[in-house]
Amino acid sequence: MADAMNSIAIEGRSSLGPAASARPTLWAWLLLPGSIFLLVLFVVPLVGLLLLALGMPDWTMANFLRIGENPAYLTVFRKTLEISVSVTALAFLLSYPVAYALATGGPILRTILLVAVVLPYFSSVLARTFAWILLLGRNGVINGMLLELGWVSQPIAMLYNRFGVIIGMTHIIMPLMILPMYTVMSGIDQGLLRAARANGASPIAAFLTVFLPLSLPGVMAGVLLAFIYCLGFYITPALLGGVSDLTITMAISSQIVDQLNWNFGSALSMVLLVVVLVILWIGSRFFPIDQLLGLSDQKVGSGKVVRRQIGTQWLMRVGSGANALDRWLPSIGGRGITLLAGFLAVLLLLPVLIVAYLSFSSSSYFVFPVPGYSLRNYEGYFSNALWLRATFASVRVGLMATGMATVLGGMLAFGLSRGRIRGRGVMVALVLSPIIMPTIVVAVATYFLMVQVGLQGTEFGLALGHAVHAIPYVVVIVVANLRDLNPTYERAARSLGADPLATFRTIVAPLIMPAFIVAAFFAFLTSFDDVVYVLFLGIGRITTLPMRMWDGINQDINPTIAAVATMQMVFAALVIVLGTMLGRRKK
């Protein structure tokens, strides 16, 4: 099994290496439309952003110097870093046990955890942030309970301060951190732990000397992705944070939207982008990021990556020490991990569930527990022309973006899997960048481009931006499925007299159709949930559903929002269920 994996990896690599005799196949042409699309709508805008920051056409470094000289901006950077580091650290502590239980637990526990991780992951950031507003607010659920219990005499301030931001952001990035860790952990052969036990390691020592070091690539990837996401996070800090905690994303937004200082806003964006790129570059020295996103044939954690693990020797000493204490230490692990992971799963799901619960309230205010059940919030949504118009706008934009992203992403996936091009790594980096780069920076850059071609404030322009953001998801999903598509089937069809087109129509298309459907749904979901692009590209003219929620949250905490958030989450859940079902049918 392991050998087979290795040989696949070697085959995959040699076909890409410069020494390979294989030339690009005809499939490589499929890369063309998608790459041009991403070049024009992603690379060009970012270059434009750089030029703006440099004051084009009057070249100057003044904008960058101003950032360095103004202590206010240094404070912004410091606070952004403080928040990002705290959130990443807290999220790591909470995510590792969940990922561990997800990878090693029994089937029931795994199903529960998977739901608890995946459902929040795909429900909108806005809905989850809204949930925390309801929970943490002065008259929120938590304060209400504390007062009820008599533990406090007056409400504690948990919202619109550092505490609220950290809690909300941690909750939102946890799935992002758990998934790469889980990917690596589920690749760890459970037999290795048995082998450690057979060689005299207690459960704790086996964990410390075998499981933990082997899970490090996933830990690094998860921590890195989460940290980058925190640095570029806009929605949650903007909604949950206090006035004193201005982060870089808020500074960018205020420069561009409020002050109309494009050059300076661009300079701030460039700084954020460079920081992210440097972190990514350092990270890629330790592990290949594309592997964790499912775009590499190589097994995660294999080969040279493993040898770079510096902490292994140290862990070995700790493990050996822990082993000596085995007889005196109570047996932790086992049930303890299960209970902890279960508890964390509840915490992950709870905000989402509470919003759903409150959406059925009969009160026109948020009261916990609800005084009675009614559908008044849902009626409020369906009878309000503004909400409905926003929904239709979202659907129109979403459908356009989905169409473009699915077609272009699908072609890119085929080209990447079968094109055998040189410089595949560059191509992969280009394709994945839109989801790794801070959304706000890409949105700002796209905005400037749209202004130049007059597409700002149009639904088509917004859909173009959303398509760029959705393409990586489509590619990842389709590539993963293409890897399962055995080329022997196609050879068999050819040998039976089918021409290439007929082969594609009768063999390839039916086999990967489920993947395309799932990819299209996820593309739609990313567009349907987005606020950041709308904030910039919509220039106040387009009101999508999330945009209307955003306005609603900023103005008054309208209970209708709870109903909308609930419906969004139900929609996300349906997409996940559909994806799982289509995936299972294939097996």
Partner 1 sequence: MLMKASLSGTDVKTGSIALHNLQKRYGSATAVDDVSLSISPGEFISLLGPSGSGKTTTLMMIAGFEMPDSGRVLLDDKEITRLPAHRRELGVIFQNYALFPHMTVAENVAYPLRMRRVAKAEREARVHRVLDQVHLGALASRYPHQMSGGQQQRVAIARALAFDPPVLLLDEPLGALDKKLRQHLRNEIKTLHKQVGKTMIYVTHDQEEALAMSDRVAVMHEGRIRQVSAPQDIYRRPADLFVAGFVGEVNLIPVSIRSGVVQGPAGDKLPAAQWPDADRDATLCVRPEHLRIETAAAGTSAGIQGRIVDMTFVGDATILEFQSESGLRLTSKVLNISAKAMPDVGDACLASWAANDATILTQ
**Which residues would be at the binding site for partner 1 (CB under 8 A)?**
1-3, 6, 189, 191-192, 194-203, 205-206, 209-210, 213-214, 301-303, 306-307, 309, 312, 316, 319-320, 323-324, 326
Sign of the CA dihedral running 165, 170, 176, 180: positive
The nearer residue to partner 1, 3 or 258, going by C-beta atoms, is 3
DSSP 437-483: S-HHHHHHHHHHHHHHHT-TT-HHHHHHHHHHHHHHHHHHHHHHHHH
The nearer residue to partner 1, 186 or 302, going by C-beta atoms, is 302
Smallest separation (angstroms) from partner 1 to the CB of 108: 14
The nearer residue to partner 1, 13 or 66, going by C-beta atoms, is 13
* DSSP label of 120: H
Per-residue tokens: 416: 């990447």
Per-residue tokens: 299: 């097994």
Smallest separation (angstroms) from partner 1 to the CB of 112: 21
Q: Find out whether 46 and 439 touch, Cβ atoms under 8 Å.
A: no
Smallest separation (angstroms) from partner 1 to the CB of 98: 23
Smallest separation (angstroms) from partner 1 to the CB of 96: 18
As beta bridge partners, residue 373 has: 361
Those residues whose C-beta lies under 8 Å from the C-beta of residue 481, and which sit 6 or more positions away, are 512, 514, 515
Smallest separation (angstroms) from partner 1 to the CB of 183: 16
The nearer residue to partner 1, 198 or 274, going by C-beta atoms, is 198
Those residues whose C-beta lies under 8 Å from the C-beta of residue 512, and which sit 6 or more positions away, are 478, 481, 482, 485
Smallest separation (angstroms) from partner 1 to the CB of 307: 7
Smallest separation (angstroms) from partner 1 to the CB of 320: 5
The nearer residue to partner 1, 2 or 149, going by C-beta atoms, is 2
Pairwise CA distance, residues 157 & 517, whole Å: 45
The nearer residue to partner 1, 49 or 201, going by C-beta atoms, is 201
The nearer residue to partner 1, 302 or 458, going by C-beta atoms, is 302
CA nearest 130: which of 385, 355, 414? 355
Smallest separation (angstroms) from partner 1 to the CB of 102: 21
CA nearest 188: which of 99, 74, 87? 99
**For residue 506, how far is the Cα from the chain centroid?**
35
Smallest separation (angstroms) from partner 1 to the CB of 216: 9
Per-residue tokens: 160: 């619109």
Q: Find out whether 522 and 514 touch, Cβ atoms under 8 Å.
A: no
Per-residue tokens: 484: 């399962």
Pairwise CA distance, residues 546 & 561, whole Å: 10
Question: Which whole-number Å values give the CA distances from 57 to 40, 44, 435, in the listed order?
Answer: 21, 17, 30
Smallest separation (angstroms) from partner 1 to the CB of 292: 17
**DSSP H stretches of helix in 300-457:** 304-307, 312-324, 335-359, 376-382, 385-418, 424-436, 439-453
The nearer residue to partner 1, 301 or 398, going by C-beta atoms, is 301
Smallest separation (angstroms) from partner 1 to the CB of 317: 8
Smallest separation (angstroms) from partner 1 to the CB of 433: 31
The nearer residue to partner 1, 297 or 551, going by C-beta atoms, is 297
Pairwise CA distance, residues 469 & 38, whole Å: 10
The nearer residue to partner 1, 252 or 322, going by C-beta atoms, is 322
The nearer residue to partner 1, 10 or 56, going by C-beta atoms, is 10
Residue 334, phi-psi category: left (phi > 0), alpha (psi -120 to 50), beta (remainder): left
Residue 150, burial from CB neighbour count under 10 angstroms (0-12, 13-18, 19+): exposed
Smallest separation (angstroms) from partner 1 to the CB of 327: 8
Per-residue tokens: 31: 């890369």
Q: Find out whether 581 and 524 touch, Cβ atoms under 8 Å.
A: no
The nearer residue to partner 1, 206 or 515, going by C-beta atoms, is 206
Smallest separation (angstroms) from partner 1 to the CB of 92: 20
Q: Find out whether 206 and 215 touch, Cβ atoms under 8 Å.
A: no
Per-residue tokens: 243: 């006035």
The nearer residue to partner 1, 124 or 323, going by C-beta atoms, is 323
Across 7-93, the runs of DSSP E, i.e. the strands, are: none
The nearer residue to partner 1, 212 or 534, going by C-beta atoms, is 212
The nearer residue to partner 1, 211 or 234, going by C-beta atoms, is 211
Smallest separation (angstroms) from partner 1 to the CB of 472: 30
Pairwise CA distance, residues 401 & 475, whole Å: 14
As beta bridge partners, residue 361 has: 373
Those residues whose C-beta lies under 8 Å from the C-beta of residue 328, and which sit 6 or more positions away, are none
Q: Find out whether 208 and 322 touch, Cβ atoms under 8 Å.
A: yes
